[in-house]
Amino acid sequence: MSDDLTLRGITDADYDRVIGVLDDWWGGREMIDMLPRLFFTHFADTSFLAEDGDGSVAGFICGFLSPACLDEAYVHFIGVAPRHRRRGVARKLYERFAVEARRASRTTLHAVTSPVNEVSIAAHRALGFEVEGVHRDYDGPGRDRVVFVKRLDPP
pLDDT of residue 91: 96
Architecture of domain 6-151: 3-Layer(aba) Sandwich (3.40)
Q: What is the bridge-based pairing of β-strands 57-65 and 145-151?
A: unpaired
| Closest alpha carbon to 120 in 76, 153, 83 | 76
Q: Is 141 exposed, middle or buried (0-12, 13-18, 19+ CB in 10 A)?
A: exposed
Residue 155: its pLDDT value, please? Answer: 67
Distance CA 86, CA 67 (A): 33
- pLDDT given for residue 3 in this prediction: 58
Put residue 55 in one of left, alpha, beta given phi > 0 → left and psi -120 to 50 → alpha: left
Q: What is the pLDDT of residues 59-81, one digit of tens each?
A: 999 999 999 999 999 999 999 99
Return the pLDDT at 1.
47
Answer yes or no: are the C-beta atoms of 48 and 8 closer than 8 Å: yes
pLDDT band of residue 104 (cuts 50, 70, 90) is very high
Q: Which pLDDT tens digit goes with each residue over 20-54?
A: 999 999 999 899 999 999 999 999 999 999 999 99
Mean pLDDT of the chain: 94
The reported pLDDT for the residue numbered 4 is 85
